[in-house]
Amino acid sequence: MKPLSPGSTIGILGGGQLGRMLATAAARLGFDVIILDPEPDCPASRVSARHLAAPYDDAEALKVLAGSCGVVTVEFENVPAAALETLIALGVPVAPGPRALAIAQDRVDEKTFLNGAGAPTVAFAAASTAGEAAGAAEALGGRVLIKTRREGYDGKGQAWAASAGEAGAVFRALGERPVIVEAPADFRRELSIIAARGWDGAVAAFPLAENTHVQGILRRSVAPAAVSPDQVLEAGEIARRILDGLDYVGVIGIELFELGDGRLLVNEIAPRVHNSGHWTQDGAAIDQFEQHVRAVTGWPLGPAHATARVEMTNLLGDEVTQWAALAADPTCRLHLYGKREARPGRKMAHVNRMSDL
């Protein structure tokens, strides 16, 4: 794609904090942004040129986007892939494309794709009945993690079965929906790699982050993670295989398990900028938001090396009331999302605590 000129407009499907930070990065490069998000007053709407408050598959809104934008992207992976197909049919470039979204929306399709692309995962099986779930658990060694194939996030829609005998009950507790049955990953740490691919196939990866989850929600990322040179190469190779296999354009988040012997397995992919990449705002040569804007607009990818060590902590719910103390701490960089209501567990802000490399 010919590089999009400053002054052009970028469409973003989704208007949460990721859209807000993308819109800010886009503005810095001279672009205008139109957000499509059904929620009035969403975080990104207040830093963007225009907000279309309509469902993601609203025909009129998609027509406006296609007519106004040089490219359309997403900040949210559960946008219907059909909305992206419609935009492409209307003649506007879309990045990442509908196939990447569709694959990331279904945990079985995702792990099937990953293994086919040479990116290893835990052993798994699909199940659509309690009997199939029990059979899959038996084949995978008894103790398994069962997850709904679709619409799970932040640890929701998943539960452990201690044995094949329990798997049927867990399947029913998850709502008798199609599931993936996964062997346990005996991991030492959770890591992630944020990488980008341009329209020309160029790839750039940020250093790895080490992530801590509490009750399925990311609490903290430390980057650059302490990893061996071999692991850096392995993670980079995994990222390249995934990006090339999806013919992907934009930034992707790849969550990894580090096993006891140091090997890396892919847990899941997020076809968008990622919470575990927020450290790059204050600790990398350019951040993941600018990198995504550069990738989707056909600009050259920017340098992705670390410039500082960062501990990123999410501020959930009323933890955001700590803002004044954090603002007074010279080692901290605060990023607030402008959300009106601090519901328990809701991601309200993050803080990057800086130290020297």
Among 182, 234, 287, 311, binds ligand AMP (CB under 6 A): 182
352 lines the binding site for ligand AMP (CB under 6 A): no
Q: Can you tell me whether residue 250 is helix, strand or coil?
A: strand
Q: Does residue 223 contact residue 310 with C-beta atoms inside 8 Å?
A: yes
Question: Is residue 212 a contact partner of residue 311, using CB atoms and an 8 Å limit?
Answer: no
Q: In whole angstroms, what is the distance from residue 357 CA to residue 344 CA?
A: 34
Q: Which of 230, 205, 224, 191 is nearest to 306 (CA)?
A: 224
**Which residue has tokens 């009997």?**
131
E strand or H helix at 218: strand 217-223
Q: Which of 132, 190, 258, 311 binds ligand AMP (CB under 6 A)?
A: 190
**Selection from 337, 338, 339, 341 nearest residue 350 by Cα:** 337
User: Could you tell me which stretch among 34-42, 81-89, 180-188, 284-292 binds ligand AMP (CB under 6 A)?
Assistant: 180-188
Distance CA 38, CA 48 (A): 15
Q: Which residues of 148-165 are buried (b: 16+ CB within 10 A; e: fewer)?
A: bbbebeeeebbbebeebe
Nearer to ligand AMP, 166 or 268 (CB): 268
Task: Scan residues 111-140 and list those touching ligand AMP (CB under 6 A).
Answer: 122
146-175: contacts with ligand AMP (CB under 6 A) = 152, 155
- Alpha carbons 345 and 215: distance in angstroms, whole number: 10
3-state secondary structure of 335: strand
What minimum distance in Å lies between the beta carbon of 152 and ligand AMP? 6
**Whole-angstrom distance, CA of residue 169 vs CA of residue 326:** 46
**Binding-residue pattern over the window 227 to 256 for ligand AMP, x denoting contact by CB under 6 A:** ----------------------------x-
Interhelix angle 229-245/107-117, rounded to 10 degrees, is 110
Q: How far is the CB of 170 from ligand AMP (least distance, A)?
A: 14
Q: Which stretch binds ligand AMP (CB under 6 A): 10-18, 85-93, 177-185, 349-357?
A: 177-185
String marking each residue 48-87 x if it binds ligand AMP according to CB under 6 A: ----------------------------------------
- Taking CB under 6 A as the rule, does residue 213 contact ligand AMP? yes
Q: Which is nearer to ligand AMP, 265 or 342 (CB)?
A: 265
Structure tokens of 101? 């979204």
Nearer to ligand AMP, 256 or 296 (CB): 256
CB of 257: closest distance to ligand AMP in angstroms?
7
184 touches ligand AMP by CB under 6 A = yes
Specify the residue, 268 or 287, whose C-beta has the smaller distance to ligand AMP: 268
Q: Is 216 in the site for ligand AMP (CB under 6 A)?
A: yes
Interacting residues with ligand AMP between 256 and 275 (CB under 6 A): 267-268
CB 123 within 8 A of CB 180: no
Q: Which residues bind ligand AMP (CB under 6 A)?
A: 122, 145, 152, 155, 182, 184-185, 190, 213, 216, 255, 267-268
